[in-house]
Amino acid sequence: MYILSIHSVIPSSKDPSQLAGKMYLEMAEQDFSDLFERNEMRRLSKLIKNGIGCGLRVLKNSNQHKIDAIITGTGKGSISKIEQFLSDIDTYKETALNPSIFIQSTHNTINGQIALKTGSNTYNVTHVNQGMTLSNVLSDAELFLLQHPDALILVGVFEENTEFNIEIHNSAGLSGIESDGSYQIKWGERVTFFIFSGKSTPGKVKITSSKTYTNFNDSNHWESLIKDIKLDTSKINNTAFLLGHNNAIELNSYYVDIIKYLNESKIPFKGFKEVTGEHDTAGGYAIDLANQILTNEVTFNEMFQTENVQKIIIINHFKDYMCHVLTLELAD
């Protein structure tokens, strides 16, 4: 699959001084006023507005007016509207509920609104599968392009967080605890949309492989992952890695063998969740970042202190049950 265009909405700041008192990295609100009617903007939640706007923006930036499929994925959907709707059910005893809140609480709202705005009546699906979501979305897109080689697909992944959702993570022991009582995991939210094509496109980035490892904490599966990575990097020089570790605990438990191998082999690597925080589809931004590096939108020296990166391998885990490995290269 070839990436023709990408647009992301990421947290507005990762500066610790600007995050004091915040439980997660909050997504910025971009200006999409040229894509919406003014009265629409007031009614939409941050995620829905950013999701629809991001999808429409990537279409506008690439001058694509007709798409053959819309495929998206999310682990949790519009959590703020889900919480609001459930709260209203209790408050109003299941009467006089606001239909707008319910509509925005459904996971496929963004797909539907993009389809309405673009006049698309083609294949349209939203995948919801926690940390497996991005892998499912890419597999679906690849299968569609195999069946329709000339197609253009709008693909997106999006997540939202709330303080209540973070409290659930914390109480479930998913955030880890530092010695001073603070939490180790940095949570976040983000929207990323792509346009994919199955046609060879010189100068564009190609996703050459996507593989998911389950039972991530099983030593046999982990050894298999390491073996695959060693075989892969031996095939080409000028390879760099983007890793999905979120803190020192994950770095030392999930990624210690990979980092040992990369250091011994002098292969550059960098974590990407310092920008997005942890969430179900964080790997979507890693694809965006890899695309920027391979197409020189972000300089090699800026990211890796090395030049001539021709291939990027993304390794991202979710909790302790899966790991997703993606390989991207610049098409000749």
> How do the pLDDT tens digits run along the chain, 332 residues long?
999 999 999 987 555 444 555 788 899 888 898 998 878 877 888 999 999 999 999 999 988 878 999 999 999 999 999 999 999 999 988 888 888 899 989 999 999 999 999 999 999 999 999 999 999 999 999 999 999 999 999 999 999 999 999 888 888 877 766 656 667 788 899 999 999 999 988 899 999 999 998 876 655 666 777 777 776 666 667 889 999 987 766 666 778 888 888 888 888 888 898 888 899 999 999 999 999 999 888 765 566 666 678 899 999 988 777 889 999 999 98
Looking at domain 2-197, which of 3.40.50.300, 3.20.20.70, 3.40.720.10, 3.40.47.10 is its CATH number?
Answer: 3.40.47.10
Smallest CA-to-CA distance from 294 within 255, 253, 245, 236 is with 236
Q: Where are the domains of the chain?
A: 2-197, 205-330
Smallest CA-to-CA distance from 280 within 321, 247, 252 is with 321
pLDDT of the residue at 32: 92
CB 294 within 8 A of CB 239: no
Alpha-carbon gap, residue 29 to 10, rounded angstroms: 9
CB 62 within 8 A of CB 45: no
Do β-strands 269-271 and 123-127 pair in parallel, antiparallel, or remain unpaired?
unpaired
3-class SS string, 249-304: HHHHHCCHHHHHHHHHHCCCEEECHHHHCECCCCHHHHHHHHHHHHCCCCCHHHHH
Distances (CA, A) of 75 to 124, 128, 171, 251, 320: 17, 5, 19, 23, 16
Alpha-carbon gap, residue 75 to 279, rounded angstroms: 8
CB 320 within 8 A of CB 286: no
Comparing 2-197 with 205-330, is the CATH topology the same? Answer: yes
Smallest CA-to-CA distance from 43 within 123, 114, 117, 102 is with 102
Q: What's the topology of domain 205-330? A: Peroxisomal Thiolase; Chain A, domain 1 (3.40.47)
Alpha-carbon gap, residue 312 to 288, rounded angstroms: 12
Alpha-carbon gap, residue 329 to 310, rounded angstroms: 6
Region class of 217: left (phi > 0), else alpha (psi between -120 and 50), else beta: alpha
